[in-house]
Chain A
């Protein structure tokens, strides 16, 4: 079920952002700083095709819309978690505790500035910061893996502040059971 949810969130990231917004938490600020989706805050959640076919499990997921957000962004050369991402991580922590058979890989990424090797290390720090946060929230460490891809797997290829801010990230990847 989590797998379905992942596919959904990857393909329609903006829906995930709206999900955060509708929850009324602080996470929408985080989303809007990284993704220009500020004006989508008041819109209804437009997931009509999926609503018709929801199973009981999926209803549970839809009830935790923060889980659709799997990206955590970082400041330049920083690896500490910004306060606006804590609700998201808390949601994942709760889910992982409730589903001890779910495992995630935390991928750490950087923007292209600085050296390749330093960024590989920095990416690992980002992944590990998220990992430690989840452990502190009570997640079993056995459910968590981390890997750094440094600056090698950018989501945005151009050299602008906007692209860099999207490349400085940790990605939460649920593993297929």
Chain B
């Protein structure tokens, strides 16, 4: 593990809005790794964020870790000299995290933490970070990312953002919001009396494309998150919808029905050059880029029911990808395109759930079961978790499930309904 020194330049400044989302973990993996994250040593007036608590909840939410409560610890060491590995072995802990923070003046903090392998009494990771008071939460997520990566081999995505739409029960007010991946620090970036849906992040995390359903129909906008400036991309006659940024961020795939039928188009955002991709009398929608930037996945009703197809942008060749089930839609890729994640209905009248399909082997697995009317799956940038929208206790909530189906948690809102999650990219 390379020793990294993170310098934060965060665009999400107004961090003080009260978080609207909460997390309820409903299922973790049986072989969770036991880890103790000791309360961080700090002398002085209370810090704006409880860093070690954020790390514990990040790791717990991943489902891969069993978290030792600070109350059950025999000691709260902050330096290696104070660590008695025997104590932690006694508590059946495999790994230990200790940390300390000090003020270096002018709202600047210096934070040091170490990760130990308890059985081998070995340091696995040590980092020193610095941040302003308002960035302590970012720092906690970065620490979670590093610990997670060290112990699982998979890059952590705790410091990424999610976008989603909240609405009141009467559906007269819609907010497009951005929050930390744990739902904290919600910030509304767009509010409207019209329905907002299909938010899509640019690969650099600086812009979001979305659909606004006005009285005259749907329109596609791209909004700069930092400045709030929004740009109308498409307001043709008929449907303008389902925007998706290309991997290089220069193009947008979207759906237009200006010629009478929903078809997939690609527009170059710099030159405004439009290319029509599909041409079929059935519904074609929900384009999503393959990592190569040369192919799109999309949903089409051309076989009678919605199924997932792949189109080559250079040749126009279209190939059907899904065959199992009555309804497969809104495909997203996970783990460099190895898995397809989608909305799936096994047969007519059966419930809608989130399913993954192993594209190398063609195996389809239904991932969700305890939520209802599951839709809008969005995959974390490390390809591990899928956030989706569902009905639960008659409310629209967000929920998450791992691509392997082993880990599940719910992200209910304290008020109103939440829909249309979009997991943001890594931001470095």
Bound Cα distance A154, B213 (Å): 14
Task: Check: A150 CB closer than 8 A to any chain B CB.
Answer: yes
Q: Given the known A-B contacts A115-B343, A152-B197, are A159 and B373 also in contact in the complex, defined by CB atoms under 8 Å?
A: yes
Q: Is A121 a contact of B373 with CB atoms below 8 Å?
A: no
Query: A interface vs B, CB < 8 Å?
Result: 77, 112-118, 120-122, 124-125, 128, 146-150, 152-154, 157-159
Whether A121 and B394, one on each chain, are in contact in the complex, defined by CB atoms closer than 8 angstroms, is no
**Are B375 and A116 interface neighbours, CB within 8 A?**
yes
With an 8 A cutoff between CB atoms, is B372 at the interface? yes
Contacting residue for A121 out of B211, B239, B260, B375, CB 8 A: B239
Q: Given the complex of chains A and B, what is the CA–CA distance between A148 and B164 in angstroms?
A: 22
Q: Does any Cβ of A come within 8 Å of B238's Cβ?
A: yes
Contact, CB under 8 Å: B329 / A159: no
Any chain A CB within 8 A of the CB of B376? Answer: yes
Contacts A/B (CB < 8 Å), 10 sampled: A115-B375, A116-B376, A120-B213, A120-B239, A121-B262, A124-B238, A147-B216, A152-B197, A153-B171, A159-B373
Least CB distance from A147 to B in Å reads 5
How many residues of B sit at the interface, in one of the four size bands? 35 or more
Find chain A residues with CB under 8 A from B218 CB. 120, 148
Cβ contacts under 8 Å, B242 to chain A: 117
- Bound-state Cα–Cα, A120 to B352, Å: 17
Find the A residue at minimum CB distance from B377: A115
B238 touches A114 (CB 8 A): no
Which residues of chain A come closer than 8 Å to B343, judged between CB atoms? 114-115
Question: Are B255 and A121 touching (Cβ within 8 A)?
Answer: yes
A117 touching B299, Cβ below 8 Å = yes
B349 nearest CB neighbor, chain A only? A76
B306 interface contact, C-beta 8 A = yes
Q: Are B241 and A120 in contact (CB under 8 A)?
A: yes
* Contact A116 B352, beta carbon cutoff 8 Å: no
Whether, in the assembled complex, B145 has its beta carbon less than 8 Å from a beta carbon of chain A, the answer is no
CA distance A128 to B301 in the complex (A): 16
Instruction: Determine the distance from Cα of A77 to Cα of B305 in the docked complex, in whole angstroms.
Output: 9
**How far does the alpha carbon of A122 sit from the alpha carbon of B286 in the complex, in Å?**
13
Does B95 interact with chain A (Cβ within 8 Å)?
no
Chain B residues closer than 8 Å to A157, beta-carbon distance: 169, 171
Assembly CA distance A96 to B242 (angstroms): 34
Contacts of A146 in B (CB 8 A): 238
A112 to B396 Cα, complex, angstroms: 11
- Contact pick for A159, options B257, B286, B391, CB 8 Å: B391
> In the complex, which residues of chain A have a beta carbon less than 8 angstroms from the beta carbon of B169?
157
Q: How far is B327's CA from A116's CA once the two chains are assembled, in angstroms?
A: 13
Given known contacts A118-B286, A147-B216, A153-B195, what 6 new A-B pairs fall within 8 Å (CB)?
A: A77-B305, A114-B352, A115-B299, A118-B285, A152-B197, A153-B171
Please name all residues of chain B whose beta carbon is closer than 8 Å to the beta carbon of A152 when the two chains form the complex: 171, 195, 197, 213
**Contact between A113 and B373 (Cβ–Cβ < 8 Å)?**
yes
Bound-state CA distance A149–B214 (Å) is: 9
In the bound complex, CA of A112 to CA of B373 (Å): 8
Contact residues in A for B217 (Cβ distance below 8 Å): 147-148
- Tell me the nearest residue of chain A to B284, going by C-beta: A121
| Contacts of B337-369 to chain A: CB distance below 8 A | 343, 345, 352
Q: A124-B262, A152-B213 are in contact. Are A118 and B241 (CB under 8 A)?
A: no
Q: Are B286 and A115 in contact (CB under 8 A)?
A: yes
Whole-angstrom distance between the alpha carbons of A124 and B257 in the complex? Answer: 9
Inter-chain contact A149/B198, CB cutoff 8 Å: no
CB distance from A159 to the nearest CB of B (A): 6
B364 to chain A, nearest CB (A): 17
Chain B residues with CB below 8 A from A128, complex form: 260
B179 within 8 A of A: no
> Quick check: A124 and B239 within 8 Å, CB to CB?
yes
B264: shortest Cβ distance to chain A, in Å?
A: 11
Output the residue of B242, B260, B420 with the most chain A CB within 10 A: B242
Q: Which 3 A-B pairs have the closest CB atoms?
A: A152-B195, A121-B283, A121-B262
Also in contact, A116 and B239, with CB within 8 A (given A121-B262, A152-B195) = no
With most chain B CB atoms within 10 A of its CB, the pick from A112, A122, A152 is: A152
B283 touching A125 by the CB < 8 A rule? Answer: yes
Query: In the docked arrangement, what's the CA distance between A120 and B256, Å?
Result: 11
Nearest chain A CB to B402's CB is how many angstroms away?
21
Bound CA span A117–B238, Å: 13
User: How near does chain B come to A138, taking the closest CB pair, in angstroms?
Assistant: 20
Chain A residues whose CB sits within 8 angstroms of the CB of B187 once the complex forms? none
Question: B313 CB to closest chain A CB, in angstroms?
Answer: 20
The interface bits of chain B over 111-126 (1 if a CB of A lies within 8 angstroms of the residue's CB, else 0) are 0000000000000000
Q: Are A116 and B420 in contact (CB under 8 A)?
A: yes
Query: In the docked arrangement, what's the CA distance between A121 and B216, Å?
Result: 15
Given A115-B329, A118-B286, A121-B262, are A158 and B394 also a contact pair (CB < 8 Å)?
A: yes
Q: Is B330 an interface residue (CB 8 A)?
A: yes
Contact A118 B239, CB 8 Å, known A128-B260, A149-B213: no
Select one of B239, B329, B345 contacting A148, CB under 8 A.
Answer: B239
Give residues of chain B (194-246) contacting chain A, Cβ–Cβ below 8 Å: 195, 197-198, 211, 213, 215-218, 238-239, 241-242
Tell which of A117, A122, A128 has the most Cβ of chain B within 10 Å. A117
With A124-B262, A148-B218 in contact, is A114–B239 under 8 Å at CB? no
